[in-house]
A and B are shown apart, each in its own frame.
Chain A
Amino acid sequence: MTFRIGKTLSSLALGLALATTALTPVAWAAGASDTDQERAARWHEIATSIFGDRPIAQTDSLVKIDAPVRALDAALVPITLTMPNDGQIKAVSLIIDDNPAPYAAKFEFGPAADPAELKLRVRVNNYTDMHAVVETQDGKLYEAKQFVKASGGCSAPMGMSDEEAMKGMGDMRMKFAESQPGKPVEATLMVRHPNFSGMQMNQVTRDYTPARYIDKLTVSAGNQKVFTLTGDISIASNPVINFAFKPDGKPIQVAASDNQGGHWQHSFTPPSPTN
């Protein structure tokens, strides 16, 4: 599925809040052969669309992206974002430059967050630069970059019918790693949701399945926010997010909604720390 629209941002749905119109399947006429200059120019355009004129400094300490250089499965590319956990990170955005909707995810951290390591799984539609942009508490922006080889992740059909893919939509699970008292707890949140990209063919109607994806997901520990995730079609189906939080003995609350009005809420009780 390649829908070439040329290298202009004018008709590009950026994803997240910037995707004001219904998402249509579009993709860059980008590919493996693009030069570094072309990629840099594209990133400049995207960054300007998202962050305006705010300067973005390079960093190798405030955020680091780990992604496989060559994805084994373009529809499920595991990403790890590593950041300092001393409270200076306010938010992190993940942008997959050559995806049809490049702005993949934005995490805004709350007081119960430990942003040291964040894992998520994304779709990658093309050979692309991937950017992580962090915002520090003083409002400054810093970026890190990684190049990923993958193709077709957004249009890759699911191995099942839409109906099967939607089975149990909104179900959630949370796993907690063993922890020490007073230390952050690592958790894995699993959400059942097809996260249809709008670029996958329906098996029966042979028409595109409309995009249906988790657009907002809030995790809180008691009354304290851990993070709010604003998501888009680049997040893989059945989203799984690894994060860490500062426990205060209260249950973890998760609220998720999708762009078609679906809304789900679950509560999980972390195990008490082992001594």
Chain B
Amino acid sequence: MTAPAVQPRAFPGQRALSRRGVLFGGLCLCCLPTLGRAAEFFTTEEVGPGIFVRKGLIVDATADNADAIANIGFIVGKTGVLVTESGGSLADGQWLRAEIAKRTQKPITHVVLTHVHPDHVFGAGAFEQDKPVFIGHAKLTEALSARGEFYRKRLIDLLGEARTGPVVYPTMTVADTAEVDLGDRRLTFTAHGPAHTTSDLSMIDSGSGLLFPADLLFVNRIPSLDGSLKGWLTEAARLKAMGPSRAVPGHGPVTVDLAPALADLTGYLTALRDGTRAAIAKDVSIEKAVDTVARDQRDKWALFDTYNGRNVTVAYQELEWE
């Protein structure tokens, strides 16, 4: 990707949809939970047996897109439905819940809260009525306690209270690994050390072999650093060692080959690490470093100009104490 896809229409794979195609199986759009105009372009894709994923927009949250910027979806098992990611707002979660209802009548038994970021947790409120198990990293509760209301207020400024939804806490936490059995398939969870954030949880589906690394894997959209740069490189190596060949990234296409996607990710993180270290060693100040570090990665990532400087700021603080 050479330029940031800033228009909701611009994401690939959706352009060919006919007018009929966007009518969501005959339902008129005006009856659907409101996602803003962007909803017209949304659909879930079956990426594996019983696995449905909606591609998030490669843009930042706006009033129009209801923060529907992450890849979200669900897995239909024999005993029930597991939501792999809930969405970026109550509106986004409601949209996903309506999608599920179109595919299956099975109960929604599990909702995964992959990490603390708002585009991954604010959809959870839409599923509270289903009384599912909310699964999260052992550190997610404290991270949500610290940041949940802060994020919520900012989202309310953007979307209004009704479309934002509550902060939902995990009811099942994973400190190391855990398993959930859906009857005909098992989901294995891994709680990761500080990486993208301090509460990253990944999952592998035994039915398809697909890895769900959430935001431990960004594709096309520039990774955003909010945990530990060195830790992220460690956890990326760990994902690779887990051995799956295909993955559903937190942002980017609905599925990718894991090895090359991880290579791109670690390519950026390594450039960020090495460039920041070099800047610190040469006494280049933080405000200069934000404009110089990892520039050679600029053409490879959407939203580079929005996030790279911030990533350098975070990396600088981590690495200056080395």
Contact = CB atoms under 8 A, between A and B. Distances in A.
B129 interface: no
B285 A119 contact: yes
Contacts of A200: 146
B145 interface: yes
Given A152-B154, A240-B320, A204 B145 contact: yes
Which of B154, B313, B314 neighbours the largest number of chain A CB atoms within 10 Å of its CB? B313
A177 interface: yes
B286 interface: yes
A207 to B, nearest CB: 10
Interface stretch (A157-165, A220-228, A258-266): A157-165
Interface of A: 1-2, 66, 68, 72-73, 76, 78, 80, 119, 121, 152, 155-161, 173, 175, 177, 186, 188, 190, 192, 200-204, 206, 238, 240, 242
A2 B290 contact: no
B227 A80 contact: no
B142 A72 contact: no
Contacts of B310: 72-73
Given A76-B286, A159-B198, A242-B285, 18 more contacts: A2-B153, A73-B313, A76-B317, A80-B285, A119-B285, A156-B150, A157-B146, A157-B147, A173-B321, A186-B283, A188-B283, A190-B321, A201-B147, A201-B149, A201-B150, A202-B145, A202-B146, A238-B321
Contacts of B264: none
Interface in B136-178: 142-143, 145-147, 149-150, 153-154
Main secondary structure of the interface of A (DSSP, over half): loop
9 contacts: A72-B290, A76-B317, A78-B285, A80-B287, A156-B150, A157-B147, A175-B283, A200-B146, A201-B145
Contacts of B283: 175, 177, 186, 188
Given A155-B150, A190-B321, A78 B287 contact: yes
Contacts, number: 64
A184 B309 CA distance: 31
Interface residues of B, number: 25
Nearest to B151: A157
Given A159-B198, A238-B317, A121 B146 contact: no
A1 B285 contact: no
A119 B289 CA distance: 14
Nearest to B149: A201
Interface string B201-232: 00000000000000000000000001100000
A159 B226 contact: yes
A118 to B, nearest CB: 12
B85 to A, nearest CB: 21
Interface in B248-291: 283, 285-287, 290
A159 B197 contact: yes
A161 B141 CA distance: 12
Contacts of B145: 201-204, 206
A204 B287 contact: no
A160 B227 CA distance: 9
A206 B145 CA distance: 6
Contacts of B313: 72-73, 76
A82 to B, nearest CB: 13
Contacts of B143: 203
